[in-house]
């Protein structure tokens, strides 16, 4: 064995073994590119495990040809949670890096930086950067600045997190196994984060490296995604209400600002309801929200009504202008803290239209779960 080969083997023995796990449904060119980039990472002690449900034949063939890729194929759709738990059993790493199949990495030291960060922590969120030039991409980008910054706040001031963004995160195997693996819910990432919080698992936010996230290709796909998320979040809150409330009471100075940063339309919506006595508008809006939980076609109508009311108040009053200024400045400061570009010029559109639409979808999801007790979503297998 050459001296160079011996050095590589020795280094591999000295670093923790990392398993990169990617659950995927059918697969596409982005999954193949992600697999190639993971395998090209110079970290010496890694394994790549891909669990592929109902794969496209061409995708399965190309992945099977990649040396070092452990491919687990299911001819029928088992769902993301079962795929993750299967990968947990089949993988060998001490540190598990979980990636969605629609992200990409571009940092050659991606795995090494995560491994170094995980030496002192049980759970880690990985920085996510939205890419794309469309209007939707720019608005989702603003949202993910908030997602990243909220995670950074939780790591810095609490050392724990209530929820984790499942697109890219890392967790120690021993921690995940003690918690019983991935929970079989719509929001397995949120449930796992809460379990870690209750168990006292240490948490960090990794910003030394990042993944590239791609927004939905269309507003229709975005709406479909958000309806699923809304039902999942509502179900998560319903099932874990007391645990979440206890966490909020214990750390309100962290959790409440993070929530407002993530969903600032909560503040503008509350201002709208509290400051103005348009009872007819309020009653109609609440009725539409209730109806939207059962009939998705009503969501645009409820959104349009809310947007029109807020725009009227924007012209005639100052509270919403103040809220806009505060949240826009907050976005600019968060972007700078994260080393990300600010999209502050798009913030009025983000706050009064995009966020309003998302809030309406969230509230409709809450009505669906809490009032009608429906947690099923179309085209999704847990």
pTM: 0.87
Cβ atoms of 331 and 342 closer than 8 Å: yes
Each of the 382 residues of the chain gets a pLDDT tens digit; together they read 544 444 444 445 567 899 999 999 999 999 999 999 999 999 999 999 999 999 999 999 999 999 999 999 999 888 999 999 999 999 999 999 999 999 999 998 999 999 999 999 999 999 999 999 999 999 999 999 999 999 999 999 999 999 999 999 999 999 999 999 999 998 999 999 999 999 999 999 999 999 999 999 999 999 999 999 999 999 999 999 999 999 999 889 999 999 999 999 999 888 877 766 566 766 777 787 788 777 777 788 878 877 776 676 666 677 788 899 999 999 999 999 999 999 999 999 999 999 999 999 999 999 999 988 888 877 666 6
Cβ atoms of 205 and 161 closer than 8 Å: no
Other C-beta atoms closer than 10 Å to the C-beta of 117 total 19
Give dist(CA 375, CA 370) in Å, integer.
9
Strands lying side by side in the sheet with 18-25: 69-74, 46-53, 18-25, 95-99, 168-172, 123-130, 203-213, 103-104
Query: What does the pLDDT read at residue 230?
Result: 95
Cα angle value 299/236/139 (rounded, 5°): 45
Architecture of domain 12-218: Alpha-Beta Complex (3.90)
The domain segmentation of the chain, as residue ranges, is: 12-218, 241-371
Half-sphere exposure for 177 (CA within 13 Å, toward CB): 14
Query: What does the pLDDT read at residue 278?
Result: 60
Q: How far is CA 19 from CA 32, 67, 97, 204, 283, in A?
A: 17, 15, 6, 19, 52
Which parts of 33-167 are beta strand (E)? 46-53, 69-74, 95-99, 103-104, 123-130
The candidate with the shortest Cα–Cα distance to 206, out of 123, 88, 105, is 123
Query: What does the pLDDT read at residue 148?
Result: 98
To 10 degrees, what angle do helices 319-338 and 265-275 make?
170
Give dist(CA 51, CA 220) in Å, integer.
27
User: Which of helix, strand or coil describes residue 104?
Assistant: strand
Q: How far is CA 330 from CA 149, 152, 314, 316, in A?
A: 10, 14, 19, 24
Question: Tokens standing for 261?
Answer: 């940063």
């Amino acid at each position: 064995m050459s001296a160079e080969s011996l050095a590589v083997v020795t280094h591999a023995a000295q670093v923790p073994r990392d398993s990169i796990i990617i659950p995927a449904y059918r697969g596409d060119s982005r999954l193949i590119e992600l697999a190639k980039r993971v395998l090209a990472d110079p970290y010496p002690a890694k394994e790549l495990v891909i669990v592929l449900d109902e794969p496209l034949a061409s995708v399965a063939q190309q992945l099977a040809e990649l040396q070092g890729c452990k491919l687990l194929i299911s001819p029928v759709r088992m769902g993301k949670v079962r795929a993750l738990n299967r990968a947990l059993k089949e993988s060998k790493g001490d540190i598990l890096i979980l990636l969605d199949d629609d992200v990409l990495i571009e940092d050659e030291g991606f795995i090494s930086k995560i491994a170094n960060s995980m030496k002192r922590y049980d759970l880690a969120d990985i920085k996510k950067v939205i890419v794309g030039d469309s209007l939707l991409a720019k608005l989702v980008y603003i949202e993910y600045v908030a997602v990243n910054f909220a995670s950074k706040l939780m790591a810095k001031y609490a050392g724990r997190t209530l929820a984790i963004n499942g697109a890219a995160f890392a967790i120690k195997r021993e921690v995940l196994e003690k918690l019983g693996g991935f929970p079989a819910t719509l929001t397995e990432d949120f449930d796992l984060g809460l379990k870690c919080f209750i168990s006292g698992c240490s948490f960090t936010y990794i910003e030394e490296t990042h993944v590239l996230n791609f927004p939905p290709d269309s507003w229709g796909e975005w709406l479909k995604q958000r309806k699923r998320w809304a039902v999942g979040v509502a179900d998560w809150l319903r099932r874990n209400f007391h645990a979440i409330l206890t966490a909020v009471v214990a750390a309100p100075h962290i959790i409440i600002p993070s929530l407002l940063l993530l969903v600032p339309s909560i503040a503008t919506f509350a201002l709208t309801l509290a400051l103005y006595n348009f009872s007819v508008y309020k009653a109609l809006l609440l009725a539409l929200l209730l109806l939207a939980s059962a009939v998705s076609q009503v969501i645009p109508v409820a959104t349009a009504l809310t947007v029109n009311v807020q725009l009227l108040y924007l012209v005639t009053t100052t509270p919403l202008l103040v809220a806009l200024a505060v949240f826009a400045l907050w976005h600019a400061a968060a972007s700078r803290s994260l080393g990300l570009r600010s999209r502050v010029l798009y913030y009025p559109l983000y706050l009064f239209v995009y966020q309003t639409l998302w809030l309406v979808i969230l509230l409709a999801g809450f009505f669906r779960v809490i009032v009608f007790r429906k947690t099923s979503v179309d085209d999704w297998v847990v």
